[in-house]
A and B are shown apart, each in its own frame.
Chain A
Amino acid sequence: MRLKDRVAIVVGAGQSPGEGMGNGRATALTFAREGAKVLCVDHNLESAKETVEMIGVNQGTAVAFKADVTRGDDLKAMVDEAHARWGRVDILHNNVGVSLSGGDAELLDITEEAFDRCTAINLKSCIFAAKHVIPIMREQQSGVIINISSMAVITTYPYVAYKATKAAMVSFTEQLAYQNAQYGIRANVILPGLMNTPMAVDTRARTFKKSRAEVEAERDSKVPLRKKMGTGWDVANAALFLASDEASFITGVTLPVDGGASVRRG
């Protein structure tokens, strides 16, 4: 087991309504399968509990925790909970993010309220979660932070807040990496591309009043590798690699998990 006895916090371990497996849930299941104790954090406690139940079925260790990630106090309570319960925090995985479901829009349509909300959920959350976990990791002289950004940073994307906040996560992760490397702490960022997850597919189907199959076909056609979207497991496997000791010399990197979208031409 590659994360035996590690303590992990997965923020966004529940998932949006819809079919299939989200990135956060897949990551929580993968970390637990590899031996980590996982605090499954979500604003939707019921969804986090579902993740915990799925882990329990496989004899893994996990606890659900409710947090509104736009509130610093909740993020502190989340870190304190993992630390008090298991005595350390080895992995912080920041998986939350909203675009359309947070009211994100094109420039001429976006409201201040929607922009502030998306920024608080996507960017402030990852920065303040790190703020609260870093003192513990410095004390331990070890720790891994994984931020989930998006290929929207590199490729074209229509809505303002998601693009801007996900790009900021990349710069923040680099800063986190070089400022904390001396304490043995690593920080890396994953850029998922077009994924077949409830948030990406079902949210669009609902918003644009299309069938799930229509949205799937449209997105599949844009992926260079196999003309098929990725799954939550692809992100989870990349996170597992980056969280494990196998990546102990890897920090500050931006890893696309995108089926080649970043090299697509035309």
Chain B
Amino acid sequence: MNRLAGKTALITGASSGIGRAIAKKFQAEGATLLLMDITEAVVEGGEPTHRILNVPFFQGDVSKEADVEEAVRQAALPTGRLDIVVNDAAIRSAKKLTDTSLEEWNRVMEVNVTGVFLMCRAAVRRMLTQEIRNEARGRIVNISSQHGMISSPEDFSYGVSKSAVVYITRQIASDYGRDSIICNAVAPGKILTGKTGRAIEPRFIDYSHARTPLPRLGRSEDVASAALFLASDEATFITGENLMVDGGWMAN
């Protein structure tokens, strides 16, 4: 289990759900970690991720430029490099177009789009100063969503923001491929993260089962495995892609 040995990774949204699963998997594969989140509280419950893994935690807001710059600086401190950034932090508004206030829209865009922009910018600036190692100067894995490709039920601003993440991914891959910076996204389908409330309302679960060809819905670990693949040296000729982890939903 050493597919990320010698690599340093910064993971946003790392306290809960998919981000927590990615943090656990990356540590198991030997990465040096800095976890970032706006809170250490775990949405699905349990001990804070950074305590379980005994790794540093940076409490910050990805939509704040200073927080992002500081997180990138701190992430690179132990090894002098930042090899991997995973942009997992995101919020929802859970409103239809006609119910979405400007404030709600703005906040979703700040976290889900501006946050990814700021982190990618800080990370790529940093990576461009690093030497190429195993064919990459650095890698970015953005967590997008199938929403933005298909409709996000009753969650207008979330779907819009996630389609922007896919575009950001492609643009960075294209502009910085020559510099050996690799940038991909993972698009989860319906993932049962342990979150309660709206996420597991029967009407959404029934809808998800009806649309997912595989017999089960997704787990956070499914997304973490895809992120691991794209963050590892096994994926050195894949860039600009949006890898769906959706049980066949989009092929259906």
Contact = CB atoms under 8 A, between A and B. Distances in A.
B182 interface: yes
A193 B244 CA distance: 19
Interface size band for A: 35 or more
Interface in A248-265: 248-253, 255-260, 262-265
Interface stretch (A81-89, A130-138, A173-181, A208-216): A173-181
B181 to A, nearest CB: 9
A255 to B, nearest CB: 6
Given A250-B226, A265-B174, A181 B250 contact: no
A30 B174 CA distance: 29
A241 interface: yes
Given A224-B174, A249-B219, A263-B170, A178 B226 contact: no
Interface in B193-252: 212-216, 218-219, 222, 225-226, 228-229, 234-241, 243-252
B174 A255 contact: no
B127 to A, nearest CB: 14
Contact of B252 (A178, A226, A237, A238): A178
**In this complex, which of B212, B219, B248, B249 has the most chain A Cβ atoms within 10 angstroms of its Cβ?**
B248
Contacts, number: 125
Contact of A247 (B174, B178, B225): B225
Contact of A253 (B215, B239, B251): B251
Contacts of B243: 250, 253, 255
Nearest to A240: B234
B247 A253 contact: no
Contacts of A182: 213, 215
B213 A178 contact: yes
Interface of B: 135, 170-171, 173-174, 177-178, 180, 182, 189, 212-216, 218-219, 222, 225-226, 228-229, 234-241, 243-252
